[in-house]
Every structure is written in C-alpha cells, then in structure tokens.
Amino acid sequence: MHPLEAGEPTAVGPYRLLGRLGSGGMGRVYLGRSAGGRTVAVKIVHPHFALDEEFRARFRREVEAARRVGGAWTAPVLDADPEAPVPWVATAYVAGPSLTAAVGETGPLPPHSVRVLGAGLAEALEAVHELGLVHRDVKPSNVLLTVDGPLLIDFGIARATDGTASLTSTGVSIGSPGYMAPEQILGKGVTGAADVFSLGAVLVHAATGAPPFPGDSSAALLYKVVHEEPELDGLEGDLRELAAACLAKDPAARPAPGDVARRLAPEGASRLVAAGWLPSRLVEQVGRSAVRLLNLEAADTGPEAPGPVSGPPGFSRASAEGPATTANPAPAGRFGPPPPMPPADPPPSLPEPGDTPPQETAAPSSRPGRFPGAAAAGGEGRGRRPSRGVVLAVAGALAVVTAGSLLLLFPFRSGNDGTGGGTPGGDHSPTPVATTSSSPSSPSSPVPVPVRYLGTWEGQGAALGGALPMGTFRVTVRQAAVGEKAGTVRHTDQIGGVCDDVLTLRQVTETELVMSSEGAGANRPNCVQTEHTVRLSPVGDDLVYKSESSGSGYPEARLSKAE
C-alpha cells in the first residue's frame, strides 16, 4: 500500500481513506474505513467513464448483480454509488497478498496450495455463474491469498466497461491479455466458459510462476492466446491435464467450474483450507500484513489524528437528495489540490450573481483533499448529463481521458495557421480582442490592471455547462500592461493531476479582464497547450473565471480571494 499523496482523496462517500492500494486502466483502489471501523477496498473509476451514460447504466446494473454474490471464496460488495460525479464501489478488504505479489516475492506455490487455490476459485465461479453472471477478469492480481482460503475480487466494473471502449483504447483493459479467453479477445460473446479459461491460466501462473502464454507485448499475448498452445512446463500429472482442459480453445471443450472443483478437492475446498493450505512463508506474510493494517488504523485514530469527516455522508445521500442548496449543502467530501493550494470551499457548483459570496479559503496546506460530492456538477444530484452527441464527441477525441487540467475533451480543428481553440465548428483560432491601450510596442501609455483583480484567487470549476466537475482552479493576477505576462492559472483535477497556464493581458474593460492563456512548457501530455482566451469578471467579492478552450469543454469557476 502507498500513502496518500497531496491531491488524492481522503474520503469517498462514508469511507475515510487510509492509503492507495493500486491503480489500473479502469480506476484507482484505496484502503478505506467506515465510521463503524470496517476496513474496505474502495475502487474509484477513472473520471472519463462518468461522461458515458451507457457506462453508468451498466455499472449500476453490474454493481447490483455483484451485491448478490456471496460465496465463501469472494469478497462481497458492500457499497457503491453509480450516480456520483465519479462512480465508485466498496468491497470487503482482506489483509493478504495477491497471487501476483505472492508468486513474485516467494516463488510458485507448492502443488497442494495450487489444488486448494483452484478448488476455491472454481467454487466461487460456480456460485457466480449460477446467478447468471460472468466475472470476465479472473487473473492473479484479482486473487487474494488469506489463511482462510483464496478470495476472488473485482466484480462489477470489468463488465460495465464492456462496450464503453475498445480493447485498443489507451489505458483501458476489458480483461487482461494472457488471461483472456480466445472468444473474449475475438468479441464472439462471453459465457462462463471464459472464466474457466482464465482460471486455467491462473493455475499455471500459481504453479510455475509464469503465465501459460508469455510475451513482451499485449499484441503478442493476444495472438498467442488465440492461435498457439499454452506452455505448461513445470506442471505434472492431473494438474497439468486439468490446466490443459481449462485452456482449450473451444469453450464447449472446457470443464464446468463445479467439475474443476471436484477434481481438485472431492470433499470441498473448505476441508483442505482447515488443514492448512499456505506454505509457512506466506502465512508469515499474511500475518505481517494484518499487523501493518492494525498499526495503520491505530496511528490514524490516535489523539493527534484528524477527526472524522464532518457534514452529511458523501455521494449516496447527495445523489439521492438532488442539488446543493442552503438547506441541503454539498457533501463534505471533495478533492483538494496539492501544496501550496489550500482546500477549496464552497462547493464546486457556480453560484449565481447576487449569492452570498463564499468565505475566503484557508491557509495553504499540503494535506490531501477530499473526493467531490454529487453537488459538484450543479443541476441534478450528480450534475446535468451531457447529451449522447457530446459523449460521442468526447469518446472520439480521446480513447481514454484522465481528468487533467484543461483536459483534452474535444478534437481540435486546425485553421490555416495550424492553431486550435475557439468554438466547435467555427474558427478555432483564439478569440481576437481589441485593446483599450497602446500596443505592446508602446509601453509609454499602459492601461494598468485594476487593483480589484490583483492577487491569488481560487475555486472549484466545471465544464460542459456544469456537467463535468473539473477540480480546483487557482488564478494569480499581477500588474501588467497589455501584451505583457499578467499571471498564471494552475488547474488541479479530481485525481491530483496538475497543469499550469501562463496568462498574457489582451484587454482591460470596465467589466472584465481579457487574457490569452497558453500551457506552460513543463506540463504533462494530458494538458491542453493550445492558446485560448480567458475572461475574468467581478461578481460581488469574487471573480468568475471563464475559459474559451473548446478542448477543455469551456470550463468556468467562481473564485474567492486566497492571497
């Protein structure tokens, strides 16, 4: 487990997060704890999935189905919120290594342990298939080893992403190369037999320390699964025969999960587990994991630890009760920026002019932020949904979008000069502005920036007309003449990604500052570097930030004075 970094959430829904367990193509997994002290694993899907209505519908359906899975060898789904701005699901946490970690650190399992492992997983799959479900992503990292037996985890998300993105989409994996069944790779329909194929591959990995289809690239692995026979060196006797049967190319030729379980453990996996099934080196490792977890919790609940999250529960309640109002404030959970950016209040929805201005933000802090509540997007409980056309435009622009600052959400159309920006379907060069002072070459009569705008301002933003929470915007404005550098914009997205823009003053009017904004050279690849127009206008004691970046979905934010 990794400690939380600045910008990562400290709370999701009713769960307080203690550390990051890992990440993958579909999301990040955190160790969390409920108010009652139960330890959970919380998976937060990547924000770009939130834009896809079909994904949300599938995710909702699969989470409900996964709640029904209650076999002895599965980690149950305890809670979820498919309606949150960024959907999440919580499952029971087990203090034991994954099969991937165990084999990597201590080597292949002995034959007896492999038998118990296979029997337990087969019984778990039998229970899953009886409910009409297919796991679709059985692999070593989704198998946990405990003193009480193996556990199969990660129901509900892999299937929900099916149809959301193709196998070639960057950062997306519907199944895992080398452990996927041939029919799954070829898109010929997936049944429970695909899980049996994956189970056979897991058994080979556990017994030999290597997958049955080795390769140094996803393309090579997928080709071998479809066209070549598995490598079973190191397996002997009935274990080799059973693994070969599970790895048959023809789904109809594979044994059923119940048959696998009976061949490995005729009297049931529980009897073998009770007699002891893990080698001593792994028993010690499981014990150390449990001790570390207890120590972590003890440190987290000590007298110097921060108190529990205040305010109403996170996503679920906000999603059910609708938009934030004075009587129904936004949930306490929200993402915060990395240092030196302070935690952002008020909620990220943009108040109308005339509303009571939010209080000034707190002093800068390096403390990680909190996950945003459903009111972050404004409108309905989790924000107004973009139309199917907008979703398709997003999907066409990028196969995968991580919610980076000024995210690349829409394809740029280049004009004759090769620049981007502007409005969809029109001229994509930055919006021209007329200055009210002399040109940059005539600095003798500059128009200064009014004192009203100077300083550092911060607030939460949203794009796509409020439908997509964008995280924190921190804008610094300095004194400058037209044509000179006038400040910076730092945008911290909801998973901690940071991008910086440089502002150049273009126009000063009685009602707004107009500046051009361009990405800084050190930005990460997800940041939009194309020059675009930014407008700042006063509203009460605040400033309203409006960006004309089409690639970012035209983000807006209401900013309060921070410094």
- Side-chain-side CA neighbours of 549 within 13 Å: the count stands at 28
43 annotated to bind ligand: yes
Q: What stretches of 379-519 show up as alpha helix (H) in DSSP?
A: 388-397
If DSSP codes are grouped into helix, strand and coil, which group holds residue 412? coil
Q: Judge contact between 553 and 409, C-beta under 8 A.
A: yes
CA pair distance 332, 313, nearest whole angstrom: 7
Q: Which residue in 79, 81, 137, 154 is the catalytic one?
A: 137
Q: Is 282 left (phi over 0), alpha (psi -120 to 50) or beta?
A: alpha
Degrees, nearest 5: CA angle 178-184-186: 100
CA distances from 529 to 76, 394, 554 (A): 44, 18, 14
What is the largest distance, in Å, between two alpha-carbon atoms of the chain?
93
Whose CA is closest to 109, among 240, 201, 200, 205?
A: 205
- Side-chain-side CA neighbours of 481 within 13 Å: the count stands at 11
CA pair distance 156, 137, nearest whole angstrom: 10
Q: Judge contact between 301 and 18, C-beta under 8 A.
A: no
Q: Judge contact between 423 and 543, C-beta under 8 A.
A: no
CA pair distance 39, 49, nearest whole angstrom: 26
Q: Judge contact between 194 and 89, C-beta under 8 A.
A: no
φ, ψ of residue 527 to 5 degrees: the values are -75, 145
Question: Residue 272 class from Cβ within 10 Å (0-12 exposed, 13-18 middle, 19+ buried)?
Answer: buried
Known catalytic membership, residue 137: yes
CA pair distance 451, 271, nearest whole angstrom: 77
CA pair distance 486, 516, nearest whole angstrom: 10
CA pair distance 544, 526, nearest whole angstrom: 25
CA pair distance 422, 412, nearest whole angstrom: 9
Whose CA is closest to 339, among 249, 212, 472, 483?
A: 472
Q: Judge contact between 117 and 143, C-beta under 8 A.
A: yes
For the record, the structure tokens of 358 come out as: 């939010």
Catalytic residues: 137
Summarize the annotated binding site for ATP as residue ranges. 43
